[in-house]
Every structure is written in C-alpha cells, then in structure tokens.
Structure 1
C-alpha cells in the first residue's frame, strides 16, 4: 500500500488567534480616539509659549517663557510686588542653559529700567533638546535666577 504524496498549496493568510478580533476592535477604538483628540486640538486656540519657570523673589517675581528644549524666542520678565514709585530700578535680564555635561555662562537680552514696577526683554535662544534653561536677572551686582526647566 502506498501513501499519497502531500499536496502542495500556496501559502495562505496566517492562522488567526482567537483574540485577534478583540485586538482589532481595540486598535479601531484607539485610532478613533486619536482622531477625536487631533480634531479637538486643531479646533482649540494655539497654546501659549510654554512657561519655562518663574521664581518668587523677596520683592517681586522673575519669569522666563519660551519653547523649552527648542530654538525660539524667550522672554524674561521681572515684576515688582510693591507699588511702583520714584524708585524704579535698572535690571539686566537673560537666561542660562545647561545639560548633563556643562552649565553655560548667562546669555543677556539687555539692560532696562523698570516702568510701573515691571520690565521684560526678549531674544532668540538656540537650544538643544536635552538642555535645560532658567531665567537670570542682575540688579546692583546681585544675581537672581529661576528654577531650571527641562523639556
């Protein structure tokens, strides 16, 4: 008695696992949710520049705002808590960057006198993705800084 040779057929689709239907449903639901989130984000107004940090000082607040971890325009602001008077002060505003290897010297946007107790200066900063940044203010040879902000 002879045994017939096995039949050769073209390979078909791989056998489906019993949970494949449930996985396909989960993927479809996840994609639909992503589409809904994307549509909501597109309809929402653009987000403001991410704050990179504020620091409360004894008589005011120092802030630095900008796109943390990316090149862009950063703005350093200082606002005094006490009412503005004839004692407006001159401040130098800027930023400082660091990564896991080095902390850079401060970069300065400029020097200006407060008006109404507040002052703000901006400038373009080139940052790498792995860098952190903080605001820096110099007033009467004293340096003030905010906390580090990292992306």
Structure 2
C-alpha cells in the first residue's frame, strides 16, 4: 500500500497574514532607527577625554593650543571658575614659554586684556623648532601661572 505524498501549498505572503505583517513592520522600524542612530553618531565629533595644553588653577583654567613642535598660531585662553556668580572682571597678561634640552626661554607675550564674562583669549604667531616644548603663561597681579609643558 502506498501513502500519497502530502500536499504542499505555498505559504501566504506577509501581506496576507496580519501577524507576519506586524513583524515585518517592526523589523523595518528597528532597522530605520539603527540607521538613524548610526548616522547621528558618525556625524558627531568625538569628545576629547581631557583638554590638552591646559592647566587647572585655583580660580580657573589656563589653556594653550597650537601646532606643538612647529611654527604656527598659538592661542592662550583663561576661563575663571564662578564667572556666572558675578565675580569682577580682572586684567590678565597671556603668553607662552618655550624650552628645549639646553635652554628655557623667557616668556613671550600675546598681550594684556580684561576678562569678559570671566574669560579672555589672545593669539599670536610662534616660531618653534621640532625639538622644543611649549607651555601657556598667565600673569595677574604680579603672580605668574603656567600650564604643563606640551612637547611635539
């Protein structure tokens, strides 16, 4: 005796089954959300772990940014902590200091300015050799503050 082969019917398309249609829609929405998150993450710049060329002072932060180890424009910035609390504005002198294995140079100054809303920024061109290090310098009320050395 032979047994007839089972009849196979084609499976219904997802459009004909309400449960399958819901799964397809959820999968599409999830894929679209992942693409949106990936595009947003790729467009956003990575946050730095910690500012480079900066030094924390008792009442603020002093930073020097520039192409360490080569000629270029360097920018010194001082930001006071608590500036929003209504502290008075102060005059500061901003600059830099260079050194290599033989000598530490006298400070070079970008200029003197009063803070505005607790911050001041000054820039200037600095000529540096590849083996030199540089640090930010600030003078206020005859006291000199410095950052750590940055070497190329």
Unpaired segments ≥5 residues, structure 2? 1-44, 46-50
What aligned pairs does 1:30-41 form with structure 2 within 5 A after superposition? none
- Matched with 2:34 is none
How far off its partner does 1:87 sit? 1.1
The whole-number CA distance in structure 1 between the counterparts of 2:71 and 2:52 is 13
- Matched with 1:62 is 62
Structure 1 stretches of at least 4 aligned residues deviating more than 4 Å after TM superposition: none
- Which has the larger Rg? 2
Unpaired segments ≥5 residues, structure 1? 1-44, 46-50
Report the secondary structure of 1:70's partner residue: coil
TM-score (normalizing by structure 1): 0.65
Total equivalences in the alignment: 102
- Matched with 2:79 is 79
Q: Structure 1 residue 141 and structure 2 residue 142: aligned?
A: yes
How far off its partner does 1:52 sit? 5.4
Q: Structure 1 residue 114 and structure 2 residue 115: aligned?
A: yes
- Matched with 1:97 is 98
Deviations 1:38-89 (A, max 9, x none): xxxxxxx9xxxxx751000001000000000000000000000112436100
The whole-number CA distance in structure 2 between the counterparts of 1:147 and 1:133 is 8
The whole-number CA distance in structure 2 between the counterparts of 1:61 and 1:81 is 8
TM-score (normalizing by structure 2): 0.65
Q: Go from structure 1 to structure 2 and tell me whether the alpha carbon gap of 1:52 and 1:107 turns closer, same or farther (over 3 Å shift).
A: farther
